[in-house]
Chains A and B, each alone.
Chain A
Amino acid sequence: MSSEEASMTNTTETPDQESPQQGAISDFGIDTTSMSTGEAVRDYWARVRGGELGSLPALLGLVVLLIVFSSLSDTFFTLGNLANLLQQGASITIIAMGLVFVLLLGEIDLSAGTASGVTASVMALHLIHNGNLLGGMGDTVFYVFCSLLVLAIVLSALMKVWAGTALSAIALVIAAVGIPANAWLEMLLAVCVGAAIGCITGFLVARVGIPSFVVTLALFLVWGGVVLQFIGQGGTLGLRDDTIFNVANGNLNFVGSWALFVIAIGGYAAVVLMRHFSRLRKGLVAQPTSLVLAKIGALALLAAVITYALSLNRAPSNLVVIQGVPYVVPIVLVLLVIGTFVLDRTSYGRHIYAVGGNKEAARRAGINVERIRMSVFVIASSAAAIGAIVYSSKVGSVDPNAGGGNTLLLSVGAAVIGGTSLFGGKGRLRDAVIGGAVLAIISNGMGLLNQPAAVVFIVTGLVLLLAASVDALSRRRAANAAR
């Protein structure tokens, strides 16, 4: 603090001595030079010390967990379990990615879990009744369902959240027309119903002005009831469809796996390098080229090892061959890339961060705060629907408990453990992926160690508490650093 003050007075004491070199250096001289590796590392370290931890604690936790479970269990670090881990963690991770958008505004969506259950059961009903939702739901329920979709269309149009309007309208068309069952159509329906649910939640929060905690707590109960209504007490809706089954259980073939590797790493390298060299060309501050290349190289190596491992046969018996990268990997990657792109490279994403950081500042800057607040709930519920497709596919059926239990809490946990702040304004999509991996490893590893559910819950809860404490403490640290 004192050193900052000192530097302030230093610079202000000498405003008139304009020797050319001095002027050049003081006018953002630091900005125009390329950083050395040492400077870049020091800069990063200074930010960590200043309370900007990001996903660092989660990454460290991930490494520790991997080491602990590999040493304690023989089966943990096997190919079969590795793939299993990815498939188990995918649905939570996807729901968590949607929740990051909501958390960035400092809001919460407690209904994401049961809302995902609603979308899963609508999907299952459509499949089982061959597109005849009217028959599947019964008259009254069907008409209420359709009128809620109409309501979602109206509300989102009112708030000019056009994506929500379009998706809700598609849901209404699919529901009303009664097109025969088709796996792709069902999945589209699920996502559209998710978007419609998000429109209703978002309107209540953003326009009516009820705190999101209360709205989504109420809707958590409502959607739980709706799932029960759709499926019936004690019933189960089986999903007998190869396409849907393959979402969580299928694998890319050998060529596909390596094609994914090339596309993912090549794309990442292209984007990062293009940005890097364009900054260098325009004389803006940039990380040292060697560091950028090292980062890309390390990531490529890691991805190559994982791709290679997953393309080996991991079947426990000789009768079948199981190999290739699970489909959930490209699904999560695509969502991650799209979401990160939206958050980092578009005005919309920038506005989300701004509203999360200072709502009043955003309003004065001319940002339509209500619209932003509503739209994140649409995103969260749509993502929850994609998560629902994945977990229903994994289980092969939808039961009245779909999306209930601790689906939601684990998803919020994944986002927070990854480093998304509950106070809003801070967080990235990859946090959800890292946090999701941590939670998946805990439940998987504890399971392999034959720990009872009681212990798994307690440990998961404590990890979440730890992550939330890190968030709160690093915030305090950042606040102190600013003084």
Chain B
Amino acid sequence: MSEPILELRGINKSFGPVHVLHDIDLTVNPGEVTALVGDNGAGKSTLVKCIAGIHPTDSGEVLFEGQPTHIKGPRDAAELGIEVVYQDLALADNLDIVQNMFLGRERTKAGLLDETDMEQAARKTLASLSVRTVKSVRTQVSSLSGGQRQTVAIAKAVLWNSKVVLLDEPTAALGVAQTRQVLDLVRRLAEQGLGVVLISHNMNDVFEVADKIACLYLGRMAAVVGSKDVTHGQVVELITAGRSGDLGIARPEAATI
């Protein structure tokens, strides 16, 4: 197996008295989809936000390509090549696809926006992901369907030669056909050699695209297993009880303290 691109060691995070993440260890390998599963409130989104630099971590180490790094803000994460696609999309409705994809990192020529260059780059990226449902890259985001928006959000993440893409429930609130598109897209990201972290509640999605599954239980990493080594039922048990047979936290009672 190749060297992990992103490695978390002993991450802790509290919001005031609430200890949300306990000693989280996680490795993300390039070319692999790592699914991050867990019940509501298990800390999935918090973990992603810690990696993305939105929340500072209390303790623990983050290694990127083997080097220890300190991610202090979204810009640091972006500079390393970590991109996040959020649950609530984070697209500006009143801008078009190109404007959204380059938001905050516009290409300029002599201080002015280089629209044609950005438009061409956006089209190239969408085409490389075989996105075919968007008619024109100058369409306003407000007139796109949910699946198309998710596609744009993901394409935005890959535009930056990123190395790790974190997807926070990309298929929630999508129809069957649209979910299909997004999952294909997720698979394609991994095939392009990116490290992909996928948060999902949907076991079918997880088993379809993930290479390994990391289960969070009440802020602890219950188990990290290969998706071929476990069954549906085992993962559900890990999510709901934190253990399943030999897998998971030894004494789940301890975790509730």
Which A residues fall within an 8 A CB radius of B?
4-5, 8-9, 11-12, 15, 26-28, 30-31, 50, 52, 278-279, 282, 284-285, 344-347, 350-351, 353-354, 356-358, 360-367, 425-426, 478-479, 481-482
Q: Apart from A8-B133, A361-B92, what 4 extra A-B contacts exist at CB < 8 Å?
A: A346-B113, A357-B93, A358-B94, A366-B75
> In the bound complex, do residue B92 and residue A282 qualify as a contact, i.e. CB atoms below 8 Å apart?
no
Residues of A within 8 A of B95 (CB): 350, 353-354, 357
> In the bound complex, do residue B180 and residue A360 qualify as a contact, i.e. CB atoms below 8 Å apart?
no
Q: How far is the CA of A5 from the CA of B130 in the complex (A)?
A: 19
Cross-chain pairs A/B with CB under 8 angstroms, 10 sampled:
A28-B134, A28-B136, A284-B120, A344-B113, A347-B106, A354-B103, A356-B94, A358-B90, A361-B91, A365-B104
> In the bound complex, do residue B137 and residue A425 qualify as a contact, i.e. CB atoms below 8 Å apart?
no
Residues of B within 8 A of A356 (CB): 94
Query: Which 6 residue pairs of A and B lie closest in terms of their CB atoms, listed nearest first?
Result: A365-B104, A357-B92, A357-B94, A425-B94, A365-B103, A358-B92
> In the bound complex, do residue B90 and residue A30 qualify as a contact, i.e. CB atoms below 8 Å apart?
no
Contact of B143 among A350, A360, A482 (CB under 8 A): A482
Q: Mark B127-138, 1 if CB is under 8 A from A, else 0.
A: 100101111111
> In the bound complex, do residue B133 and residue A12 qualify as a contact, i.e. CB atoms below 8 Å apart?
yes
**B window 133-164: CB within 8 A of A:** 133-138, 140, 142-145, 147
- With A31-B136, A278-B116, A345-B112 in contact, is A365–B90 under 8 Å at CB? yes
Residues of A within 8 A of B84 (CB): 364
Residues of A within 8 A of B119 (CB): 284
Residue among A285, A344, A358, A425 with max Cβ neighbours from chain B (10 Å): A358
B74 at the A/B interface (Cβ < 8 Å)?
yes
B16 at the A/B interface (Cβ < 8 Å)?
no
Closest chain B residue, CB of each to CB of A482: B142
**B window 67-87: CB within 8 A of A:** 73-75, 78, 84, 86
B51 at the A/B interface (Cβ < 8 Å)?
no
> In the bound complex, do residue A360 and residue B90 qualify as a contact, i.e. CB atoms below 8 Å apart?
yes
- Shortest distance from the beta carbon of A63 to any chain B beta carbon, whole Å: 28
B228 at the A/B interface (Cβ < 8 Å)?
no
- With A11-B133, A364-B86 in contact, is A425–B92 under 8 Å at CB? yes
> In the bound complex, do residue A31 and residue B137 qualify as a contact, i.e. CB atoms below 8 Å apart?
yes
Contact of A362 among B86, B103, B127 (CB under 8 A): B103
> In the bound complex, do residue A366 and residue B133 qualify as a contact, i.e. CB atoms below 8 Å apart?
no
Residues of A within 8 A of B234 (CB): none
Closest chain A residue, CB of each to CB of B73: A366
> In the bound complex, do residue A15 and residue B103 qualify as a contact, i.e. CB atoms below 8 Å apart?
no
> In the bound complex, do residue A27 and residue B116 qualify as a contact, i.e. CB atoms below 8 Å apart?
no
> In the bound complex, do residue B123 and residue A9 qualify as a contact, i.e. CB atoms below 8 Å apart?
no
Q: How far is the CA of A263 from the CA of B90 in the complex (A)?
A: 42
Closest chain A residue, CB of each to CB of B104: A365
- With A28-B123, A31-B137 in contact, is A367–B177 under 8 Å at CB? no
> In the bound complex, do residue B135 and residue A12 qualify as a contact, i.e. CB atoms below 8 Å apart?
no
Q: Mark B216-232, 1 if CB is under 8 A from A, else 0.
A: 00000000000000000
Q: How far is the CA of A362 from the CA of B105 in the complex (A)?
A: 11
Q: How far is the CA of A351 from the CA of B103 in the complex (A)?
A: 8
B192 at the A/B interface (Cβ < 8 Å)?
no
Residues of B within 8 A of A279 (CB): 116
> In the bound complex, do residue A364 and residue B181 qualify as a contact, i.e. CB atoms below 8 Å apart?
no
- Shortest distance from the beta carbon of A425 to any chain B beta carbon, whole Å: 4
Residues of A within 8 A of B106 (CB): 347, 350
Closest chain B residue, CB of each to CB of A427: B94
Residues of A within 8 A of B113 (CB): 344-347, 350
- With A26-B132, A28-B136 in contact, is A361–B90 under 8 Å at CB? yes
- With A345-B113, A478-B142 in contact, is A27–B136 under 8 Å at CB? no
B244 at the A/B interface (Cβ < 8 Å)?
no
Closest chain A residue, CB of each to CB of B156: A365
B59 at the A/B interface (Cβ < 8 Å)?
no
Q: Mark B173-203, 1 if CB is under 8 A from A, else 0.
A: 0010110110010000000000000000000
Closest chain A residue, CB of each to CB of B126: A28
B233 at the A/B interface (Cβ < 8 Å)?
no
Contact of A364 among B74, B126, B127 (CB under 8 A): B74
> In the bound complex, do residue A354 and residue B92 qualify as a contact, i.e. CB atoms below 8 Å apart?
yes
B14 at the A/B interface (Cβ < 8 Å)?
no
- Shortest distance from the beta carbon of B25 to any chain A beta carbon, whole Å: 26
> In the bound complex, do residue B123 and residue A366 qualify as a contact, i.e. CB atoms below 8 Å apart?
no
- Shortest distance from the beta carbon of A361 to any chain B beta carbon, whole Å: 4
> In the bound complex, do residue A361 and residue B103 qualify as a contact, i.e. CB atoms below 8 Å apart?
yes
Residues of A within 8 A of B177 (CB): 8-9, 12
> In the bound complex, do residue B133 and residue A362 qualify as a contact, i.e. CB atoms below 8 Å apart?
no
B108 at the A/B interface (Cβ < 8 Å)?
yes
> In the bound complex, do residue A30 and residue B132 qualify as a contact, i.e. CB atoms below 8 Å apart?
no
